[in-house]
Structure 1
Amino acid sequence: MNYDEVSNVVQNDKCILQLGQYMFNKLKNKGNNYDDYIRQKMREVGRMVLVAQDVTPLKKVKEFFIPKNFLHVISAVKKAAGYDPETNTYQTPSLALKLGHSLKKISSIVESDAMMFGDDITAEYAKRYRAIHDSRWEEYISSGALNTLKEAKWNMPQVLPFTNDVKLLNFYMENQQHVSERMLRISPTPENYAALAKVTLALAITFNRRRAGEVSRMLLTAFRSRNKSVLHDDVAICLTPFERKMCECFARVEIRGKRGRMVPVLLKPSMVAAMELLAELRESCSVPSDNLFMFGRPEALSAYRGGECLQKYTKLCGAKHPEALTSTKLRKHIATMSQVLNLEENESDQLADFLGHDIRIHRQYYRLPQGTLQLARMSKVLLAMERGTVSQYKGMTLDDIEIDPEEKIPQSNEGESSDPSEDECTSSEMEHIMDTSTSSAPARAATPPIQEPAEKRSRRKWQSGEVRSVEKHLMKFIRTFTVPAKRDCMLCLQNEPETLKERTWTDVKNYVRNRITALKRQNT
């Protein structure tokens, strides 16, 4: 730690040191950044103790667990997290939540140590503190902190990577990898080694949409022990020729992911070549033999940070929105846009498993942007409610409903018939449809007819020339029981300007709709 008043508090408080010891014992075999995480947690508690010394009588963490001091603990946490009593919000709500978890864990450690050394009073105090914490912490801290976190996300634009930026980044990094690999082969120095290690690490992160820390902590033994066997003949039979070619092209390395689960990393041939070169020249580039990481630093036992490497190249590649090119946003991008592919449930499960997501979390959070969905779909329901036509869409899905917001629906007048059959086609036209639709397939239900205002509606019958013109361009919609969109009707009018000069696009759409309705009646 930096030597300051916080580190002085940490070094002189036994309970904070016990928390650090506990976390060290638990995390020491899980990667190279556990020391940063432990330091962060210990300093958080140290800052809280400094605040408590200013605003409360409490001086040591051990005093926090005396039950009568619980309200002093609440005051210290609120002060440390920047609580505003007027709005019930926090300047740093996440800190308030983190301190709650840390205090609960420290109380458990204090209780177990007190029990081992026969200090029944301290053990009982810690036990009582946890009981009070469980019942009252939400009331005093968690509720306001969680609300602050949620409200901070309202009306925030969802920033996802742009395709052109991703292409620019990949093109730039591949060029840098080629140059760095050539330089390392010519001159195996720590500087050239570092350049190739950083760009290869960033490429592996972006290609796999993997968490930056997971790829950074890839072990050298994991890379060297990757499966190099030839594809099994029985398995190859189940794959297409293209899929067999992909299996021959890519390499797969299994690494430790979040919560200890195994996650794969797929490597392109260029990445494999670069990583083999890094592994071969480690010793000559001053990487210690005790460094276990594939992307280990020269003269250190740690690995390069994937997030920092990726950030470096996003700034250099010329992307318009480099802030969107982070490992987290790239992961969200692939999980969100995968919905466009209309994946089956088992395929969606495979994608979630590859990304290292719990499938329930994947389905809950990685969806198309909620605001876009509400604009695109919920607006249909609201328009139908406003126009009083909800019942006419019975049995239809939101994808099937088509309502043009520019269409005007007239108010019904007494004595005026609303039967759309006035515009239906003649019996001879019905027979013509029956002859031309022998291969028709079931499709979406018909949407209700569109009417213009009473003063603009035309009641005259469709002439044979008009019918032929519409059939010429829109017969495929009639055959498939699909109501054409506005653009299709407008295109029909543009192609037949003379024949359909007395008709509007809504007339054309209503005509096709009525033909579909009549045909369905004949079929039933």
Structure 2
Amino acid sequence: MKLIEEEWKHKITAVALRSAKETKRNQQVLLPTTADLVKLKDYLDAELHDATKVLKNCVNMENFQKLSSVILCRVMMLNRRRSGETSKILLQDFEKRPNWQLGHNTEIINSMPLTEQQLVKRLDMIEIRGKRGRNVSLIMTPDIKESIQVLNQKRHQVGISETNGYLFPRGNGDGHIEGHVAMRSFASKAELEYPERVGSTNMRKYIATVTQMMNLNDGELEWLSNHLGHSINVHREYYRNQESAIELGKVAKMLLAVDAGNALADVRKRDVDVAIDESGSEQELEDDGIGEIAVEVAMEGGQDVGEPDARFDKTQIDQPRKKKASKTSTKIAWTTEETEAIQKLFKKNYNLRQVPNKKECDLAKQKEPALYRRDWKSIKYKVYNDIQRLKKT
């Protein structure tokens, strides 16, 4: 036993880890394409509507199983949940879910943008048992919830056993529908370009990879990781793949700039922790639009994620940059009225320690007349500097 304790980590564990890493080296991870996921989502939405209508009019086991499979796949796809977890949702988890609207913190709700407030009112949620016994959440849209209610109303009419406690029961016995089998079947029927890439694990890796381009802060990344049912470290190490396009585009751009001697001119660190001129004369804190990539790009746009960066092109790498004439700007002190307006409009940003983007700054300027003489960069720099001061307190 002593020999095992002393040599196990060196002769077994280390070798196993090294072998696993060597196996993954130069192995391309083929994730689902955005176009395929959008097509599958539209297909499942149409099937959900039709199957719900059919079961209402004609109650039999075949129609019941069809609707059950559609709902299972739609929930799995929306929440990027593991197929095993979704398949094993219990009927009591759905029926005994609380009325979340009664327990919401009004202060938190009011700090959210209007879009998020509407989502809180419109969507429902249930908590289920996830991997290693942890509680994980499932979000349901109104049409999914309605279809589940229809399913539950008809389960006894089609002969589902009283002892079967699963929300998505199999026709005979006490088992449940297998999520990966149902997903594979619908992926094939939806006539996708790459149906073999669609599965719960690959969809989880897809959202983890795509959200790299959304530039999530630590708080948002933690929320996403908790929803997916794993820690941030697992999210970064095992699910988030360094997409080859990111490596060849973003990283290669920086390396080529350094190689051409334009590093100081072309490579800029995002959100540099330095004092920034709130008049808008400095350019350290740039808004390159990455933070504004919306979720619908990944789910509804059907286009590749990421935009060409206008700051870097071939001419910038091959030719020396021309020096721009220095600009002079007059600093305008922030009045008490302006400061109060900023603190009111960006209350959420201060709480989350999150710098607003251009769209948020422009919207704030439209809402508050006191900010008429400020451009969006000045507003952004003001919030940024305030956040840096809050971090130091």
What's the TM-score, normalizing by structure 2? Answer: 0.66
| Alignment size in residue pairs | 296
1: CA distance between counterparts of 2:187 and 2:314?
41
2: CA distance between counterparts of 1:227 and 1:274?
19
Match of 2:84 among 206, 213, 222: 213
The 3 A distance-change label for structure 1 pair 399 and 228 is: closer
> Given the alignment of the two structures, is residue 351 of structure 1 paired with residue 210 of structure 2, yes or no?
no
For the aligned residue pairs, the C-alpha RMSD in angstroms reads: 3.3
1: CA distance between counterparts of 2:113 and 2:314?
39
> Given the alignment of the two structures, is residue 331 of structure 1 paired with residue 208 of structure 2, yes or no?
no
Contact 2:164 2:174 in 1 (8 A): yes
The 3 A distance-change label for structure 1 pair 142 and 365 is: closer
Which AA in structure 2 matches 1:228?
N
Q: Percent identity between the aligned chains?
A: 27
> Given the alignment of the two structures, is residue 228 of structure 1 paired with residue 99 of structure 2, yes or no?
yes
1: CA distance between counterparts of 2:11 and 2:101?
61
2: CA distance between counterparts of 1:212 and 1:238?
34
Contact 2:204 2:239 in 1 (8 A): no
Query: Where do 5+ consecutive residues of structure 2 fail to align?
Result: 272-277, 286-309, 332-393
Where do 1:87-236 residues align within 5 Å? 128=1, 131-137=2-8, 141-228=12-99, 230-231=101-102, 232=104, 234-235=106-107, 236=109
The 3 A distance-change label for structure 1 pair 385 and 140 is: same
1: CA distance between counterparts of 2:26 and 2:39?
29
The 3 A distance-change label for structure 1 pair 228 and 336 is: same
The 3 A distance-change label for structure 1 pair 343 and 138 is: closer
Which AA in structure 2 matches 1:156?
Q
Match of 1:286 among 159, 164, 189: 159
Structure 1 residue 376 displacement after superposition: 3.9
2: CA distance between counterparts of 1:357 and 1:135?
31
Which AA in structure 2 matches 1:184?
L
**Which range is displaced more, 189-198 or 331-340?**
331-340
Which AA in structure 2 matches 1:238?
S
1:376-411, Cα deviation, whole Å (9 max, x unpaired)? 455466546655x48x739964679xxxxxxxxxxx
Aligned match of 1:442: 282
**Which range is displaced more, 212-221 or 168-177?**
168-177
2: CA distance between counterparts of 1:139 and 1:439?
58
Aligned match of 1:479: none
Structure 1 residue 196 displacement after superposition: 0.6
1: CA distance between counterparts of 2:100 and 2:247?
49
Structure 1 residue 484 displacement after superposition: 5.7
Aligned match of 2:372: none
Contact 2:60 2:158 in 1 (8 A): yes
Contact 1:158 1:369 in 2 (8 A): no
1: CA distance between counterparts of 2:110 and 2:280?
37
Query: Where do 5+ consecutive residues of structure 1 fail to align?
Result: 1-127, 401-437, 446-482, 490-504
Contact 2:36 2:194 in 1 (8 A): yes
What's the TM-score, normalizing by structure 1? Answer: 0.51
Aligned match of 1:248: 121
1: CA distance between counterparts of 2:270 and 2:177?
47
The 3 A distance-change label for structure 1 pair 294 and 441 is: same
The 3 A distance-change label for structure 1 pair 336 and 164 is: same
Contact 1:217 1:294 in 2 (8 A): yes
| SS, match of residue 325 in structure 2 | helix
Contact 1:396 1:444 in 2 (8 A): no
The 3 A distance-change label for structure 1 pair 238 and 227 is: farther
Which AA in structure 1 matches 2:325?
R
1: CA distance between counterparts of 2:84 and 2:266?
48
1:120-139, Cα deviation, whole Å (9 max, x unpaired)? xxxxxxxx4xx444444556
2: CA distance between counterparts of 1:394 and 1:226?
56
Structure 1 residue 240 displacement after superposition: 3.4
Q: Which structure has the larger Rg? A: 1
Structure 1 residue 273 displacement after superposition: 1.1
The 3 A distance-change label for structure 1 pair 269 and 216 is: same
Aligned match of 2:132: 259
Contact 2:257 2:267 in 1 (8 A): no
1:439-461, Cα deviation, whole Å (9 max, x unpaired)? 6521149xxxxxxxxxxxxxxxx
Aligned match of 2:377: none
Structure 1 residue 202 displacement after superposition: 0.4
1: CA distance between counterparts of 2:113 and 2:53?
36
The 3 A distance-change label for structure 1 pair 381 and 273 is: closer
Structure 1 residue 164 displacement after superposition: 0.8
> Given the alignment of the two structures, is residue 364 of structure 1 paired with residue 237 of structure 2, yes or no?
yes
1:467-520, Cα deviation, whole Å (9 max, x unpaired)? xxxxxxxxxxxxxxxx9655899xxxxxxxxxxxxxxx958x41xx2424xx59
Structure 1 residue 317 displacement after superposition: 0.4
> Given the alignment of the two structures, is residue 515 of structure 1 paired with residue 325 of structure 2, yes or no?
yes
